[in-house]
Amino acid sequence: MDTSFTAELFEWRGPAPFYWLALPEDVCDYVRAEAAEASYGWGAIPVSVRIGGTQWETSLLPRDGGYVLPMKKGVRVQEQVAEGDTVTAAMSVAPRGGRAANGTGRAV
């Protein structure tokens, strides 16, 4: 993983899955520097993420000039985190072509 950060899990009534971590500004800078090599449109940035013992692929979405990381229910349950908890995540921007077109991602 290329970077890590700690953030509070929050609920946002936007696109599913509704629970997110807002990336701190220094991590947003890292994402912006890597975005041209990774973005597949709509401002979404594919990433590989690890929280605790759970690793998966997803996409960051732009929000308020920064980025947010979605946390699936399965990850929240596996790592026993809930809204308002402080979570530490390790993350790498995934190169373009590293994810399947159907969004399932590659095996990690």
Q: What is the pLDDT of residues 53-108, one digit of tens each?
A: 999 999 999 999 999 999 989 999 999 999 999 999 999 998 755 554 444 444 34
* CATH number attached to the domain at 3-93: 2.40.30.100
* Cα dihedral value 45, 21, 27, 32, nearest 10: 30
- The SS3 assignment for 74 reads helix
Who has greater pLDDT, 1 or 56? 56
**What is the predicted pLDDT for the residue at 16?**
62
Angstrom distance (rounded) from CA 50 to CA 43: 22
For the CA atoms of 61, 35, 41, 11, what is the dihedral angle to 10 degrees?
0
* Alpha carbons 25 and 41: distance in angstroms, whole number: 21
Residue ranges of domains in the chain:
3-93
pLDDT tens digit sequence for 7-66: 999 998 766 658 999 999 999 999 998 887 776 667 789 999 999 999 999 999 999 999
Cα–Cα distance for residue pair 50/56, rounded to 1 Å: 7
Instruction: Please tell me the predicted confidence (pLDDT) of residue 105.
Output: 44
